[in-house]
């Protein structure tokens, strides 16, 4: 997927953020249709309509659930849809951000404790194998989380993550 161009998704996310009064400068797209060993996490400059930081991101383990995506508590699955990034805190894996699901497909993520965080099992660069799994959390390489932190921390309005397939 080296040739993946998220421009159509950037334009759609830009429109969504404007319509819903979220941050119109930055947004995040996670394209779960891309292999987990490839860059599929994209911090985008919505004004310039381009990717500024990209990286690997975990997929949920689905703890025995045969569905690839789920909004059910205890499923361990990733959920599709729009997420509002909330408060920063220090969690079990260090720096983390609360997430709020904005769609029917992810409305339970707050109750499921699905948060944005990092873990050392996520490589910094692309690999040829599937990377580690999470319990539904979009989990990044620690260096990538450090790179995006200033964008999240300095945002005047909440930044949206849009999980697509």
Q: How many Cβ atoms from other residues are within 10 Å of residue 47's Cβ?
A: 10
pLDDT in tens, 70-107: 999 999 999 999 999 999 999 999 999 999 999 999 99
Instruction: Tell whether the model's pLDDT for residue 3 goes beyond 80.
Output: no
Q: Provide the pLDDT for residue 15.
A: 98
pLDDT tier at 68, thresholds 50, 70, 90: confident
Is the pTM higher than 0.85? yes
Q: Give the pLDDT confidence score for residue 65 in this predicted structure.
A: 53
pLDDT of residue 1: 44
Strand intervals (E) in 32-80: 41-45, 50-55, 59-60
CA atoms of 152 and 133, how far apart (whole Å): 24
Residue 160 has pLDDT above 70, yes or no: yes
Average of per-residue pLDDT values in the chain: 94
C-alpha distances (whole Å) from 79 to each of 2, 83, 123 are 24, 10, 22
Whether residue 161 is predicted with pLDDT greater than 50 in this model: the reply is: yes
SS3 (DSSP) at 22: coil
The answer to whether the beta carbons of residues 74 and 110 sit under 8 Å apart is no
Q: In this structure, what token pair is assigned to residue 79?
A: 């959920």
* CA–CA gap between residue 104 and residue 53 (Å, rounded): 28
Q: Which CATH number fits domain 7-164: 1.10.10.10, 2.40.440.10, 3.90.1010.20, 3.30.413.10?
A: 2.40.440.10
With a cut of 70, say whether residue 67 has pLDDT above it. Answer: no
**Domain extents in the chain:** 7-164
pLDDT for residue 63 is more than 70:
no
pLDDT tier for residue 149 given thresholds of 50, 70 and 90:
very high
């Amino acid at each position: 997927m080296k040739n993946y161009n998220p421009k159509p998704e950037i334009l759609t996310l830009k429109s969504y953020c404007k319509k819903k009064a979220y941050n119109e400068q930055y947004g995040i797209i996670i394209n779960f249709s891309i292999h987990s060993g490839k860059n599929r996490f994209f911090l985008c400059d919505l004004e310039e309509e381009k990717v500024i930081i990209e990286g690997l991101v975990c997929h949920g383990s689905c703890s025995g659930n045969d569905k690839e995506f789920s909004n059910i508590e205890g499923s361990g699955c990733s959920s599709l849809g729009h997420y509002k990034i909330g408060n920063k805190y220090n969690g079990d894996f260090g720096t983390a951000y609360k997430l709020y699901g904005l769609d029917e497909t992810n409305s339970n993520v707050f109750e499921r404790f699905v948060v944005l965080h990092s873990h050392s099992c996520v490589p910094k660069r692309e690999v040829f194998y599937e990377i580690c799994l999470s319990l539904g959390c979009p989990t990044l390489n620690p260096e990538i989380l450090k790179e995006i932190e200033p964008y999240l921390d300095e945002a005047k309005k909440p930044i949206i993550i849009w999980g697509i397939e």
